[in-house]
Amino acid sequence: MTASDAAFLGLDETDGRHSLEIQKRHCTPFGFLYGGTGVAACATAAEAVTGRPLVWITTQYVGQASPGERLVLDVEILVAARATSQTIVRAHVGDRVVLHATTAHTDRPVGDEAWWDAMPDVPAPEDCPPFAVTFDDPADESFFRSLERRAPADQFDAATGRLAIWSRVPGWGIGTPASQAFIADIVPVAVMSGIGRMSGATSLDNTLRVVHGEPYDGWVLLDVEAQGYRRSIGHGQVRLWRPDGVLLGIGSQSCIVRTNQHGKPAG
């Protein structure tokens, strides 16, 4: 965890217990907690409790929270080995569970590194127009106001389900596990682009595997891939790239695509 992670999220700590007073900026345009905020908060709390950098987190969303509510994150350390820790994080509002996560951490020294893919060849962010979705209202105060997104004009490849989006969060350098989690909650956009229904979606789960977790101040390319859709459930993954071709992390996600027009979950 870095101080900037907790500061950006507004995460409080008292006697080792973390909590978050939910504001509109933590939420979706539909008025409930943005999944990326929840995962980032869990990652930050788990790193603080273990004292070790996070390398993996998987989260299941089981409820919702709204502005004005306080989200409490209880971290239970399951393993505290010589170089690795594993935890469970339970995030709740009162007795109502909102999400829970399992995490893995290590403070092993950095040695050799490798990855077996390459960043897509896309125009630089300054050469791309802003990326927007139909349900993004510039007047709202949702998490959309916290980040910048830009994308090539031919952003979605219908043949492969791939979508490339540049993203950054001014005032919070992307690179730490928490900041990666915040911007990686993007798979539903690729799924909705693939089926031609940009109506909003509700995440069921979210997994992030961190390759490079050091703070980095700049644009990150989200290489998003829609992989499957059936029974209103979409699946896909995202790779996070630095402009110099360094792989920061890999995410995967499943979501429920909403079918109504009122910003409410479909089920």
CA triple 186-255-187, angle to 5 deg = 20
Please say whether the beta carbons of 169 and 8 come within 8 A. yes
Give the pLDDT band of residue 134 (cuts 50, 70, 90).
Answer: low
Cα–Cα dist 235/66, whole Å: 26
Q: How many domains does the chain have?
A: 1
pLDDT digits (tens, 9 = 90+) for 235-267: 999 999 999 999 999 999 999 997 654 444 333
Average pLDDT over the chain, rounded to whole?
A: 91
Which pLDDT belongs to residue 264? 43
pLDDT digits (tens, 9 = 90+) for 21-44: 999 999 998 899 999 999 999 999
**Within-domain flag for 191:** yes
**Within-domain flag for 158:** yes
Which pLDDT belongs to residue 135? 58
Tell the residue number behind the tokens 């700590």, with chain if given: 13
Q: Please determine, for residue 53, whether its predicted confidence score (pLDDT) is greater than 80.
A: yes
For 30-39, 147-156, 179-188, which range has the lowest pLDDT when averaged over its residues?
Answer: 147-156
**End-to-end distance of the chain based on CA atoms, in angstroms?**
34
Q: How many CB atoms lie within 10 A of CB 205?
A: 18
Average the pLDDT over 167-180 and give the result: 93
Which pLDDT belongs to residue 15? 86
Q: Please determine, for residue 65, whether its predicted confidence score (pLDDT) is greater than 50.
A: yes
Buried (b) or exposed (e) across 7-22, using 16+ Cβ within 10 A?
Answer: ebbebeeeeeebbbeb
Which pLDDT belongs to residue 138? 66
**Within-domain flag for 130:** yes
**Within-domain flag for 69:** yes
Please say whether the beta carbons of 252 and 185 come within 8 A. no
**Within-domain flag for 199:** yes
**Within-domain flag for 116:** no
Q: Could you list the residue range(s) of the whole structural domain that residue 249 is in? A: 3-108+124-257
Please say whether the beta carbons of 25 and 146 come within 8 A. yes
Which pLDDT belongs to residue 89? 98
pTM for the model stands at: 0.92
pLDDT greater at residue 197 or residue 192: 192
Q: Which amino acid would we find at residue 21? A: E
What is the residue-wise DSSP string for the chain?
--HHHHHHHTEEEETTEEEEE--GGGB-TTSSB-HHHHHHHHHHHHHHHH-S-EEEEEEEE-----TT-EEEEEEEEEEE-SSEEEEEEEEEETTEEEEEEEEEEE-PPP-----S--------GGGSPBP--TT--TTS-SGGGG-EEE--TT-EETTTTEEEEEEE-TTS-BTBHHHHHHHHTTHHHHHHHHHT--S-EEEEEEEEEES--S---S-EEEEEEEEEEETTEEEEEEEEE-TTS-EEEEEEEEEEEP-SSSS----
Which pLDDT belongs to residue 136? 58
**Within-domain flag for 90:** yes
Please say whether the beta carbons of 215 and 2 come within 8 A. yes
Which pLDDT belongs to residue 262? 44
**Within-domain flag for 78:** yes
CATH number, position 77 = 2.40.160.210
Please say whether the beta carbons of 57 and 207 come within 8 A. yes
Task: Name, in order, each residue with C-beta under 8 angstroms of 127's C-beta and a sequence gap of 6 or more.
Answer: none
Instruction: For residue 80, give Cα distances in angstroms to 59, 88, 90, 105, 263.
Output: 20, 12, 18, 9, 42
Average the pLDDT over 139-160 and give the result: 86
Please say whether the beta carbons of 39 and 57 come within 8 A. yes
